[in-house]
C-alpha cells in the first residue's frame, strides 16, 4: 500500500488560560522561524502598550498577534488570530491563536473546530486552571487529534524539573479521563526562548523534542477514507449542461459509480466529473467538482451523494454533543435552524440529557445550556439529513444551530449517533383523511390561535366564538392554556423553555384536532414569536390563523381576572408576561383585535373568518 500523503495544510491551535503566554509563544515561534515581515517585527520592538514591562528594544511578541484595538488597549486576546508559516516537511502550518478568557470560549471553539494539533499552555506558577480543563475538554470533544500540554514560564522556577513533573502529574488525570489519544508534555519558556524553536541551555534535563520539532514530527496523514460524501452546494447550469457542484470528502468517486441521492434515496450513475482543468475519471478527498448524473434525477442544494453500495440512511433524530455559543440560553423545544455544510433544516432539542462539568468531567443535570456550557442533547430535525457520527468524520458529523430570529450561530454540535427510532417510524397514510372528516361535518378544519397578554380577553372572545359556531352547527373545540396546564401540561412552568414546550404541545394537539375535522380555537398567551412561528409551520398555508388580542398592559393589569398581576407586583411571579418576561407582539398576524372594544364587535370580526 502506498504511504498516505501528508496533509498539505496543518492547522494548529494554541489555547490555555489567559496570561499563560500564548501570544508570546506564537510570536516567538514566528519570529525565530523568520515567518514575519521585518517591518512588522520592528514595530513590535518600538511600540509599547500600557503596563508593558518589556525592555525597550526587545520584541513585544504579543503585539504580533493581538490585532484588534480593544485587544491592544486591554492587553487581552478577544478573538482568534490566524498566522501562517512553513514546516520543514513542506507542509503549511496555519496557527490559530485562541483567546483564554472564559467569556471568549466560543472563539476558542471556532479555532478548535478545524485544528489538527493543539498546544494547551499552562503557566508553571498557576498550574492547572479551570480554563485549562475547559480548553482540553473542547479539544477532545472537537476531535483535535494531537495535543501537546506546554508548561510555560519555567524560567520563573529556575527551570526546575520537579516543578515540571509536579504539573505534569496535576494534568494527567484530566488527560486520561478525556481520552486524549496522542499527547505530549513539553517544558518551555516562551519569554526567554527555551525549547520553542531552539533548545536553549536551561532545560538540559529534558531530552524530548522542542516545540517546533514536536509540531514538525506530527506527520499528519490523511486517514484511509472509504465513505465518500458529496454535499451539493450549487446547481451549475448553462445551455444543456446541468452539473451538481460541491466538494467531495472522505473517499473517492469514479465515473460509472452508482450513487444514491439523500434524503430522496433516488439512484443514478456518475456520467461525468467536470472541472475547469478538464474532466476527471476519478476524484478524491477535498476535490471540488461538478458531477453530471445519468439519468439527470432531481437533486438540489443541500442534498448529498453517497455510493449506492455504501449509503448511510438519513435520520431525523440524533444524540449530539453541543457547545452553546449563544448569548441567550438553549431553549428546549424551540425551533432552531440546523446547518451542516450546505444542508439546512429546522430542528428542535427534544431532551437535554446532561451538561458536562468541566472540572470533574461528571454529568450534571441541566434544564438548559448557557453560553460556553457543554452538554449532551437529543435533537430532532424536521426532515431527515445524511449526517455521520462526528467520531467517523469531522466534515460530515458537525452541525451548527442558528437562532431563527437573530440568525446568529448559537450552538456547535457534534453527532454522537443517530437514534434508531427515526429509521423505524414511517408515516402511515389513511384513506379517511382530514378533508373527508371535515366534509362529513360540513365544515373546513382550521386553527384560530389567539395570543396576547394575560387579561387581554382571549378566553372571553374564544368562549363567545365557540358559542356562536356551535349555534351554527359547527364542530368546535377550545384549547385553553390554563385548562391544559391542569392536565397535559401540568409538568411545565413558565420559564422560556417551558413556554416553548407548552406551545409545541398545544400546536401538535391542535393539529390532531384539525386533522379530526374540527375548528380549533387556541387561547394561549404564547408570548414568543419564534414559538408561534414554529406552531404555524405545522400547518398548510391558510389553516393557521394568528389572532393578536391587542389590549394595553395597563388595562390588562386593571382587569386582572386571575389576580396574577397583583401577585407579580408582589414579586411572586418572576416570569409573568409583560412584567418579568417580554411579550413579543406578532409581526404578521392574520388579525389584530383591539382589546379595548366591546366583546360583541371583536366576536363579529372573528366570525367573518371562522365560519
Partner 1 sequence: MQSSPEILKALENESIEILRETAASFAKPVMLYSIGKDSSVLLHLARKAFYPAPIPFPLLHIDTTWKFKEMISFRDEVASKYGLELIVHTNQEGVEEGVTPFTRGISEYTRIMKTVGLRQALDKYGFDGAIGGSRRDEEKSRAKERIFSVREAGHRWNPREQRPELWRTYNTRLRPEQSMRIFPISDWTELDVWHYISQNEIPINPLYFAKERPVVWRGDQMLMVDDERFPLINGETPENRLIRFRTLGCYPLTAAVESTATTISEVLAEVSEVKLSERATRLIDGDKEDSMEKKKTEGYF
| Separation between Cα atoms, residue 258 and residue 310, nearest integer Å | 10
Residue 316, SS3?
Answer: strand
Nearest approach in angstroms of CB 572 to partner 1 is: 36
Residue 114 CB partners (closer than 8 Å, separation 6+): 11, 96
| 470 in contact with partner 1 (CB under 8 A) | no
Considering the rule CB under 8 A, would residue 219 count as an interface residue with partner 1? no
* Contact stretch for partner 1 (CB under 8 A) within 120-128, 229-237, 373-381, 473-481: 229-237
Task: Tell me if residue 498 falls in helix, strand or coil.
Answer: helix
CB of 361 to partner 1, least distance (A): 23
Q: Is residue 155 near partner 1 by the rule CB under 8 A?
A: no
Q: Which helix (H) or strand (E) holds 604?
A: helix 599-610
Among residues 82, 198, 205, 470, the one that binds partner 1 under rule CB under 8 A: 82
Rounded to an integer, what distance in angstroms lies between the CA atom of residue 396 and that of residue 339?
A: 11
**Does 345 interact with partner 1 (rule: CB under 8 A)?**
no
Residue selected from 237, 471, 541, 542 as contacting partner 1 according to rule CB under 8 A: 237
Regarding 371 and contact with partner 1 (CB under 8 A), the answer is no
N residues, the chain:
611
Residue span binding partner 1 (CB under 8 A) among the ranges 82-90, 328-336, 444-452, 582-590: 82-90
Q: Can you state the percent helix, strand and coil of the chain, rounding each to 5?
A: 25, 30, 45
User: 37 vs 542, which CB is nearer to partner 1?
Assistant: 37
- Distance (Å, rounded) from C-alpha 515 to C-alpha 436? 10
Burial string for 554-572 (b: 16+ CB within 10 Å, else e) reads eebbebbeeebbeebeeee
Q: Tell me the per-residue interface mask from 303 to 332 with partner 1, x by CB under 8 A, - otherwise.
A: ----------------------x-------
Angle at 483 between CA 481 and CA 486, to 5 degrees: 115
Q: Tell me, what DSSP letter sits at residue 5?
A: P
What minimum distance in Å lies between the beta carbon of 68 and partner 1? 5
Q: Which is nearer to partner 1, 277 or 491 (CB)?
A: 277
Comparison of 72 and 474: residue with beta carbon closer to partner 1 = 72
- Using CA atoms, how far apart are residues 133 and 15, in angstroms rounded to an integer? 11
| CB closer to partner 1, 23 vs 152 | 23
The answer to whether 534 contacts partner 1 (rule: CB under 8 A) is no
The DSSP-derived string for 391-433 is TT-TTTSEEEEE-TTT--EEEEEEEEEE-HHHHH--PPP-SS-
* Least distance in angstroms from the C-beta of 3 to partner 1: 14
* Per-residue mark of binding to partner 1, 114-143 (x: CB under 8 A): x-----------------------------
Per CB under 8 A, 100 contacts partner 1: no
Does residue 27 belong to the site contacting partner 1 (CB under 8 A)? no
Pick one of 1, 2, 3, 38: the residue that binds partner 1 (CB under 8 A).
Answer: 38
CA angle 490, 493, 498 (to 5 degrees): 105
Residue number with CB closer to partner 1 (135 or 163): 135
Considering only residues 261 to 290 of the shown chain, the ones binding partner 1 according to CB under 8 A are: 274-277, 286-288, 290
Smallest distance from the beta carbon of 189 to partner 1, in angstroms?
25
Confirm if 130 and 361 have CB atoms less than 8 A apart: no
Judged by CB under 8 A, how many residues of this single chain contact partner 1? 74
404's grid cell: 431563527
- Label residues 136-152 b or e (16+ Cβ within 10 Å = b): bbbbbbbbbbbbbbbbb
CB of 32 to partner 1, least distance (A): 14
CB 64 within 8 A of CB 23: yes
The distance of closest approach from Cβ of residue 398 to partner 1 in the complex, given in angstroms and rounded to an integer, is 5
Q: Does residue 168 carry a catalytic annotation?
A: no
In the set 62, 91, 113, 526, the catalytic residue is 526
Least distance between partner 1 and beta carbon 556 (Å): 31
In angstroms, rounded to a whole number, what is the distance separating the alpha carbons of residues 505 and 531? Answer: 11
Contacts (CB under 8 A) with partner 1, residues 380-419:
394-395, 398-400, 402, 406-409, 412
Task: Give the residue numbers annotated as catalytic, written as ranges.
Answer: 526
Amino acid at each position: 500500500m502506498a504511504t498516505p500523503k501528508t496533509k498539505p495544510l496543518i492547522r494548529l491551535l494554541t489555547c490555555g488560560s489567559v496570561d499563560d503566554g500564548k501570544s508570546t509563544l506564537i510570536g516567538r515561534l514566528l519570529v525565530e522561524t523568520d515567518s514575519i515581515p521585518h517591518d512588522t517585527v520592528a514595530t513590535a520592538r518600538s511600540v509599547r502598550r500600557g503596563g508593558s514591562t518589556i525592555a525597550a528594544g526587545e520584541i513585544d511578541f504579543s503585539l504580533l498577534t493581538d490585532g484588534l484595538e480593544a485587544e491592544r488597549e486591554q492587553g487581552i486576546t478577544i478573538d482568534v488570530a490566524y498566522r501562517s508559516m512553513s514546516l520543514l516537511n513542506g507542509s503549511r502550518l496555519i496557527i490559530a491563536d485562541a483567546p483564554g478568557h472564559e467569556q471568549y470560549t466560543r472563539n476558542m471553539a471556532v479555532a478548535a473546530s478545524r485544528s489538527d494539533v493543539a498546544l494547551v499552555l499552562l503557566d508553571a506558577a498557576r498550574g492547572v486552571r479551570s480554563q485549562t480543563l475547559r480548553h482540553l475538554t473542547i479539544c477532545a470533544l472537537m476531535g483535535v487529534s494531537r495535543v501537546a500540554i506546554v508548561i510555560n514560564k519555567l524560567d520563573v522556577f529556575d527551570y526546575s524539573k520537579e516543578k515540571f513533573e509536579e504539573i505534569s502529574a496535576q494534568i494527567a488525570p484530566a488527560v486520561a479521563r478525556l481520552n486524549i489519544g496522542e499527547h505530549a508534555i513539553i517544558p518551555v519558556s516562551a519569554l526567554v526562548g527555551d525549547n520553542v524553536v531552539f533548545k536553549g541551555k536551561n532545560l538540559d534535563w529534558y531530552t524530548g523534542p522542542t516545540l517546533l520539532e514536536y509540531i514538525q514530527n506530527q506527520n499528519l496523514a490523511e486517514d484511509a477514507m472509504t465513505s465518500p460524501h458529496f454535499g451539493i452546494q450549487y446547481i451549475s447550469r448553462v445551455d444543456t449542461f446541468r452539473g451538481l457542484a460541491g466538494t467531495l470528502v472522505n473517499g473517492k468517486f469514479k465515473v460509472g459509480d452508482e450513487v444514491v441521492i439523500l434524503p430522496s434515496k433516488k439512484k443514478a450513475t456518475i456520467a461525468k466529473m467536470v472541472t475547469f482543468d478538464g474532466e476527471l475519471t476519478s476524484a478524491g478527498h477535498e476535490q471540488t467538482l461538478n458531477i453530471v448524473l445519468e439519468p439527470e434525477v432531481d437533486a438540489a442544494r443541500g442534498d448529498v451523494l453517497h455510493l449506492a453500495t455504501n449509503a448511510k440512511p438519513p435520520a431525523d433524530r440524533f444524540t449530539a454533543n453541543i457547545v452553546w455559543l449563544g448569548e441567550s440560553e438553549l431553549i428546549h423545544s424551540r425551533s432552531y435552524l440546523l446547518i451542516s455544510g450546505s444542508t439546512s433544516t429546522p430542528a428542535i432539542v427534544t431532551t437535554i440529557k446532561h451538561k458536562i462539568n468541566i472540572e470533574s468531567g461528571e454529568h450534571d443535570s441541566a434544564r438548559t445550556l448557557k453560553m460556553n456550557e457543554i452538554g449532551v442533547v437529543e435533537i430532532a430535525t424536521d426532515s431527515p439529513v445524511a449526517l455521520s457520527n462526528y467520531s467517523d468524520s469531522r466534515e460530515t458529523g458537525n452541525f451548527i444551530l442558528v437562532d431563527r430570529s437573530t440568525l446568529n450561530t448559537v450552538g456547535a454540535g457534534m453527532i454522537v449517533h443517530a437514534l434508531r427510532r427515526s429509521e423505524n417510524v414511517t408515516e402511515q397514510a389513511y384513506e379517511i383523511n382530514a378533508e373527508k372528516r371535515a366534509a362529513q361535518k360540513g365544515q373546513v378544519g382550521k386553527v384560530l390561535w389567539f395570543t396576547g397578554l394575560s387579561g387581554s380577553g382571549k378566553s372571553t372572545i374564544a368562549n363567545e366564538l365557540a358559542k356562536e359556531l356551535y349555534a351554527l352547527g359547527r364542530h368546535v373545540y377550545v384549547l385553553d392554556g390554563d385548562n391544559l396546564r391542569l392536565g397535559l401540561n401540568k409538568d411545565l412552568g413558565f420559564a422560556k423553555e417551558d413556554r416553548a414546550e407548552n406551545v409545541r404541545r398545544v400546536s401538535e394537539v391542535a393539529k390532531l384536532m384539525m386533522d379530526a375535522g374540527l375548528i380549533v380555537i387556541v387561547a394561549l398567551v404564547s408570548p414568543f414569536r419564534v414559538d408561534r412561528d414554529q406552531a404555524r409551520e405545522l400547518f398548510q398555508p391558510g389553516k393557521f390563523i394568528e389572532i393578536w388580542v391587542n389590549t394595553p398592559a395597563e388595562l390588562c393589569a386593571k382587569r386582572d381576572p386571575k389576580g396574577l398581576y397583583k401577585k407579580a407586583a408582589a414579586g411572586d411571579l418572576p416570569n409573568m408576561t409583560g412584567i418579568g418576561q417580554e411579550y413579543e407582539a406578532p409581526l404578521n398576524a392574520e388579525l389584530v383585535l383591539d382589546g379595548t372594544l366591546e366583546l360583541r364587535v371583536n366576536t363579529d370580526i372573528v366570525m367573518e373568518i371562522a365560519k
